[in-house]
Amino acid sequence: MTMEITSIDFKLLSPQMIKKMTTVRIDKAELYDPDGYPIDGGLSDLRLGVIDPGLRCRVCGATAGNCLGHFGYIELTKPIIHPLYAKRIYQLLKVTCRKCGALLYDKSDKKISLKNVYKNPLKVCPQCKEKQKKITYQKPTLFREDSKELTAEEIRARLEKITDEDLKLLKIRGGRPEWMILTLLPVPPVTMRPSITLESGERSEDDLTHKLVDIIRINERLKKNLELGAPDFIIADIWELLQYHVSTLMSNEISTLPPARHRSGRPLKTLAQRLTKKEGRFRGNLTGKRVNFSARTVISPDAKISIDEVGVPKYVAKELTVPERVTKKNIKYLKELILRGPDNYPAANYLIRSDGIKKKITEENKEAIAEEVTIGYIVERHLQDGDIVLFNRQPSLHKVSIMAHKAKILPYKTFRLHPCTTIPYNADFDGDEMNLHVPQTEEAQVEAKMLLAVKDNIRSPRYGLPLISCKHDQITGTYLLTREGTVLDKKEAAHIFMLIGKENENLKDSYTGKEIFSALLPSDLNIEFKSAGCVGCPHCEKHNCPYDAYVVIKNGKLKHGVIDDNALGEGKGKLINIIERKYGSDKIKEFLNNVSRVSIYYVTHHGFTISISDQMVNKNITTIKEKKISETRKNVDHLIKSYKSGRLKPLPGFDEKGSLELLIQSEAGKLMNSMSKLIKTKIKENSAVIMAKTGARGSYVNLTQTSVLVGQKAIAGKRIFRGFRNRTTSHFKKGVLDLKSHGFVFNCYKDGLDPFEFFFDAMNSRENLMDKSLQTRHSGYLERRLVNALQDLKVEYDGTVRDSSGRIIQFVAGEDGMDVGKSDNGEINFNLII
Amino acid sequence: MAKKEINIFENYLVPKHEIMTEEEKQQLLKKFNISLKQLPRIKERDPAVKAIGAKKGDIIKIERKSETAGVAYYYRVVV
């Protein structure tokens, strides 16, 4: 069982405690004597710990690395206010008597709560009847009573007078309040502030050491001046300087204090700066760490490698290594690698002897090292083809943001990834960079291979449909190949069969595209489904579909229909879905590889492009458009007229004006829809239409906007009403409600927009842009908080959801014990299982 | 004015709460191989707990309507 933490206490350090935990009193500002030997009582006193390797600690006897160091202390000549507790001190001063230290509140008055004590302390002490003076606080460490400054000594004396019972009432825990005024200052051990010896032999001290030197120097000066009986104002000046140095030791980012600077002008990094912010100890070193055996570079596509591979530049492969233990079986092979020299890929970089000594292999010593290799040694060899690596793109929002690939060593300088795997990573190739990690133990490699492999993560864990799937040109390619009328001659067919490893000597003279595609399918596959090109006729003619949009696969032969987004696309992928279910992950990997190769081959050799002529529509459509527009205008005018005359019947839940808006918007929508339908049915098939129809890229809405009309522009879901009083711009009459003046665009992008339309379009675009950036930021942060809260919850083998200490969160995961990632969009298709 | 008695279980949002017998309790703990500490908690001053008169250390069986499973059972220990 895990150990349980009962409680954690944070307390103030008392002077006695400081004395107890420290080993040496530090009072010399010098670090080393003229011979370079550490001075006793200086900041590098040997009793503060060891940092030089080989030496033993004088206090605990441990070697460097094992001895954590020991604290020392500085005896402050006069007390100093701890700057980070100043606020607390102020609160206490306000609520306690200046003379006897009693709480300034009436204990008999039960109406006064603790909160009110802080807000309204009594003006006269209930115990000694002393009249209280007004205390003010000035950042960072200055307290005044009326106008007289309070010294740290006086404040300490007052805090000492507060009784423990009163502190309990004030809910102040963790020790005595006077400990917030420092009399002893702990000096951190040298292990916490190591000095660096530069190449020139010069020593460079840590920022903390510099700060501590300042403190000692001023402290000693204050002491000397006190002994000499110097005038008060001089003492006060030095005291204030000491306060400044102690304050900046705690934190160098106190708003009202100028930061202490290094000689070069760089602000010193003191205690608080080591812990806080993104680069601090918590966020920078504990929650997140830098790792070895990793690489990062730009990604680019390669449809010819397998989906479970990642192309690694040779240049990177020479740096990343995999440790391999020398055995009887591989000793010869590993010796050969070593003899190649570290620069001659594939080779090896390091040899680790069984006693743990690590040796770098160089061109000069490679023979000697190869001679030395013995069974049991470990050779760190270059990354090679087939090695398991983890591949990741940030932001890592879901589990498929990190997957295990097989390395494939390639020339040039980018990581290569299969276009199908861009979907889970949400990657594109406009300059995206990705990270690669090499697991270093067999356990890690096997774990990655079994849990994170690309082929085992084809399905989205969110809804259980294919995530790793085809898009863009891959879809276009399969459509062009499988549509009616595609015929390939013997030579082309032979080439494609070669691509998928199905070379055949007895080829027919010609093949239809559907026959070629059938070669990719398992021979006993049977499935029927509608393709993305389905127009949704009221009565489906099934395999007699006039649009060839009904797919029939019988015994692994594609009989009817075209293969498009519905068969291969993300979140649909009927074909990918069934192949993965029926034949397993290796088959689906093969299938996706082959489909990609064939479709990309076909689309590149067939040729595919769009141009402005794809956006041209014939006169017929233009006349229909004009007719429909004038019809809509008439309808809208009629609506406005009936509204103005008060004859418009309001819709349920709306007033007259709201109803009018709704009706006008629906008229505009109707116009758009009829135009979309027109494009869908009447336009001749061209490249742009093919992409929209097959779901490869773009939609009919895009096509309508580019070639017929853009339609209604909106802000916050309403027509545009911004601008002048009762009108959008001064070019329209006041109070006019027609389409034109409120953001309806009658032109299309190809013809161009008139100035008003252009302006409305810009307004709309700006809103979209703003929404996009704001929304992603918010949902990103929301996701992060959710992940942070749920990160160590886990479904145990008994089906319960538990946290890291074994506490039950859910008794049955998801209340029904189902893994949606293994379902078909939340449902279970029993026919596929049985 | 006398305080109006309200039966919170009449509200459709409040699921059925039930105190488990000692025997059922042991069975449950054995089934999931857990100690009382590992169960989800419910405060003794929770209105539903007060209504059924459960004491500290009792386990309460809650029968909830579930979108995914129809009926789901949840167990909480009174603290």
Q: Within an 8 Å CB–CB cutoff, is residue A799 touching chain B?
A: no
**What count of CB pairs under 8 Å joins A to B?**
38
Here the tokens at position A281 are 């100890």
> Could you give the count of Cα atoms lying within 13 Å of A123 in the half-sphere of its Cβ?
0
Distances (CA, A) of A81 to A66, A139, A141, A217, A364: 35, 12, 7, 18, 62
Residue A108 is predicted with a pLDDT of 67
User: Percent of chain A beyond pLDDT 70?
Assistant: 98
Q: Is the pLDDT of residue A120 over 80?
A: no
For residue B33, the chain A residues in CB contact (below 8 A) are 798
User: Which residues have C-beta within 8 Å of that of residue B61, sequence separation ≥ 6?
Assistant: B17, B18, B19, B20, B24, B73, B74, B75
Which CATH superfamily is B15-78 part of? RPB5-like RNA polymerase subunit (3.90.940.20)
Residue A132 is predicted with a pLDDT of 83
* A64 vs A796: CA distance, rounded Å: 43
Neighbours of B70 (CB within 10 A): 9
Are A490 and A405 in a shared domain? Answer: no
Residue A134 is predicted with a pLDDT of 85
Q: Are A549 and A530 in contact (CB under 8 A)?
A: yes
Alpha helix positions (H), A318-365: 331-339
User: Which residues have C-beta within 8 Å of that of residue A72, sequence separation ≥ 6?
Assistant: A22, A23, A24, A25, A26, A45, A47, A48, A186, A187, A189
For residue A814, the chain B residues in CB contact (below 8 A) are 68-69
Which of A212, A283, A286 is closest to A250 using CA atoms? A212
Are A618 and A577 in a shared domain? Answer: no
* A372 vs A365: CA distance, rounded Å: 11
Neighbours of A190 (CB within 10 A): 25
- Partner-chain contact B68 A807, CB within 8 Å: no
Residue A109 is predicted with a pLDDT of 66
Here the tokens at position A4 are 């349980």
* A97 vs A81: CA distance, rounded Å: 20
Answer yes or no: is A643 within a domain: yes
Are A588 and A635 in a shared domain? Answer: no
Residue A111 is predicted with a pLDDT of 60
What are A187-239's pLDDT values in tens digits? 999 989 988 888 887 888 899 999 999 999 999 999 999 998 888 899 999 99
For the ranges A291-300, A677-686, A813-822, the maximum mean pLDDT occurs at A291-300
Query: Distance, in angstroms, between A799 CA and closest chain B CA?
Result: 10
Here the tokens at position B8 are 């919170």
- Nearest Cα residue in chain A from B71: A815
Q: What is the DSSP letter of A454?
A: G
Which among B28, B64, B65, B68 is the top mutation candidate for probing chain A, defined by the most A β-carbons within 10 Å of its own β-carbon?
Answer: B68
Residue B15 is predicted with a pLDDT of 93
Which among A808, A809, A810 is the top mutation candidate for probing chain B, defined by the most B β-carbons within 10 Å of its own β-carbon?
Answer: A808
* A245 vs A254: CA distance, rounded Å: 12
What are A141-196's pLDDT values in tens digits? 889 888 888 888 989 999 998 888 888 878 888 889 999 999 999 999 998 998 88
Residue A540 belongs to domain with CATH number: 1.10.274.100
What are A385-395's pLDDT values in tens digits? 999 999 999 98
Q: Is the pLDDT of residue A783 over 90?
A: no
Pairing of strands A22-25, A71-81: parallel
Which of A261, A321, A273, A332 is closest to A294 using CA atoms? A321
What are A244-270's pLDDT values in tens digits? 999 999 999 888 888 888 888 899 999
Are A571 and A659 in a shared domain? Answer: no
Are A122 and A145 in a shared domain? Answer: yes
Residue of A802, A805, A816 lying closest to B68 (CB–CB)? A816
Residue A691 is predicted with a pLDDT of 93
Distance of CA B67 to the CA centre of its chain: 20
Residue A147 is predicted with a pLDDT of 84
Residues A724-752 have a mean pLDDT of 91
Q: Within an 8 Å CB–CB cutoff, is residue A814 touching chain B?
A: yes
Q: Is the pLDDT of residue A745 over 90?
A: yes
At residue A818 the predicted structure's pLDDT band, cuts being 50, 70 and 90, is: confident
Q: A104-118, A490-504, A580-594, A674-688: lowest mean pLDDT where?
A: A104-118
Count of structural domains within chain A: 4
Are A487 and A602 in a shared domain? Answer: yes
Query: Distance, in angstroms, between A579 CA and closest chain B CA?
Result: 28
Q: Is the pLDDT of residue A518 over 70?
A: yes
Query: Distance, in angstroms, between B38 CA and closest chain A CA?
Result: 4
Residue of B32, B64, B66 lying closest to A808 (CB–CB)? B32
- Partner-chain contact B32 A816, CB within 8 Å: no
Residue A1 is predicted with a pLDDT of 59
At residue A680 the predicted structure's pLDDT band, cuts being 50, 70 and 90, is: confident
Q: Within an 8 Å CB–CB cutoff, is residue A443 touching chain B?
A: no
Answer yes or no: is A761 within a domain: no
What are A628-649's pLDDT values in tens digits? 999 999 999 999 989 888 888 8
Are A701 and A631 in a shared domain? Answer: yes
Query: Distance, in angstroms, between A786 CA and closest chain B CA?
Result: 20
What are A686-737's pLDDT values in tens digits? 899 999 999 999 999 999 999 889 989 989 888 999 989 999 999 999 988 8
Residues A280-298 have a mean pLDDT of 91
Q: Are A2 and B35 in contact (CB under 8 A)?
A: no
Domain end (from A698, A721, A753): A753
Q: Within an 8 Å CB–CB cutoff, is residue A806 touching chain B?
A: yes
Q: Is the pLDDT of residue A436 over 70?
A: yes
Q: A53-57, A597-601, A658-662: lowest mean pLDDT where?
A: A53-57
Q: Is the pLDDT of residue A4 over 80?
A: no
φ, ψ for residue A123 (rounded to 5)? -85, -20
For residue B69, the chain A residues in CB contact (below 8 A) are 812, 814-817
Residues A740-766 have a mean pLDDT of 92
At residue B2 the predicted structure's pLDDT band, cuts being 50, 70 and 90, is: low
Residue for token pair 């309808």: A635
Which among A807, A820, A827 is the top mutation candidate for probing chain B, defined by the most B β-carbons within 10 Å of its own β-carbon?
Answer: A807
Are A453 and A310 in a shared domain? Answer: yes
Residue for token pair 């606020």: A87
> What angle is formed at CA B30 by the lines to CA B26 and CA B31, rounded to 5 degrees?
115
Which of A93, A85, A80 is closest to A143 using CA atoms? A93
- Partner-chain contact B40 A808, CB within 8 Å: yes
Distances (CA, A) of A226 to A77, A126, A157, A220: 9, 39, 20, 10
- Residue B62's DSSP bridge partners are B17, B74
Q: Within an 8 Å CB–CB cutoff, is residue A808 touching chain B?
A: yes
Query: Distance, in angstroms, between B6 CA and closest chain A CA?
Result: 30
Residue range(s) defining the domain that contains residue A553: 473-606
Residue A55 is predicted with a pLDDT of 77
Are A531 and A438 in a shared domain? Answer: no
- Partner-chain contact A798 B69, CB within 8 Å: no
User: Which residues have C-beta within 8 Å of that of residue A673, sequence separation ≥ 6?
Assistant: none
Answer yes or no: is A126 within a domain: yes
Q: Is the pLDDT of residue A755 over 90?
A: yes
For residue A798, the chain B residues in CB contact (below 8 A) are 32-33
Reduced DSSP (H G I as helix, E B as strand, rest coil) percent helix, strand, coil of chain B, to 5: 30, 30, 40
What are A596-623's pLDDT values in tens digits? 999 999 999 999 999 888 888 888 888 9
Q: If DSSP codes are grouped into helix, strand and coil, which group holds residue A771?
A: helix
For residue B68, the chain A residues in CB contact (below 8 A) are 814-816, 818
Q: Is the pLDDT of residue A817 over 90?
A: no
For residue A809, the chain B residues in CB contact (below 8 A) are 40
For residue A800, the chain B residues in CB contact (below 8 A) are 32
- Partner-chain contact B32 A811, CB within 8 Å: yes
Q: Within an 8 Å CB–CB cutoff, is residue A501 touching chain B?
A: no
Q: A72-86, A318-332, A707-721, B2-16: lowest mean pLDDT where?
A: B2-16
Q: Are A692 and A703 in contact (CB under 8 A)?
A: yes
Residue A18 is predicted with a pLDDT of 92
User: Percent of chain A beyond pLDDT 90?
Assistant: 50
Are A437 and A543 in a shared domain? Answer: no
Residue of B37, B67, B75 lying closest to A811 (CB–CB)? B75
Here the tokens at position A143 are 């307290």
Are A428 and A409 in a shared domain? Answer: yes
Q: If DSSP codes are grouped into helix, strand and coil, which group holds residue A652?
A: coil
Q: Within an 8 Å CB–CB cutoff, is residue A827 touching chain B?
A: no
Q: A92-106, A244-258, A315-329: lowest mean pLDDT where?
A: A92-106
Query: Distance, in angstroms, between B45 CA and closest chain A CA?
Result: 21
Answer yes or no: is A570 within a domain: yes
Query: Distance, in angstroms, between A279 CA and closest chain B CA?
Result: 36
Q: Within an 8 Å CB–CB cutoff, is residue A826 touching chain B?
A: no
* A683 vs A693: CA distance, rounded Å: 12
Q: Where are the domains of chain B?
A: 15-78
Q: Is the pLDDT of residue A780 over 70?
A: yes
For residue B73, the chain A residues in CB contact (below 8 A) are 811
Residue B23 is predicted with a pLDDT of 93
* A675 vs A702: CA distance, rounded Å: 12
At residue A121 the predicted structure's pLDDT band, cuts being 50, 70 and 90, is: confident
Tell me the Ramachandran region of residue A452: left when phi exceeds 0, alpha when psi lies from -120 to 50, beta otherwise. Answer: alpha
Distances (CA, A) of A768 to A332, A717, A781: 64, 11, 20
Domain end (from A409, A428, A457): A457
What are A369-386's pLDDT values in tens digits? 998 899 999 999 999 999
Interface of A with B in 690-729 (CB under 8 A): none
Mean pLDDT for chain A overall: 89
> Which has the higher per-residue pLDDT, A139 or B58?
B58
Domain end (from A180, A198, A231): A180
Query: Distance, in angstroms, between B53 CA and closest chain A CA?
Result: 24
Pairing of strands A415-417, A294-301: parallel
Are A595 and A627 in a shared domain? Answer: no
Residue A565 is predicted with a pLDDT of 92
- Partner-chain contact A816 B38, CB within 8 Å: no
Distances (CA, A) of A621 to A659, A670, A677, A704: 32, 16, 11, 11
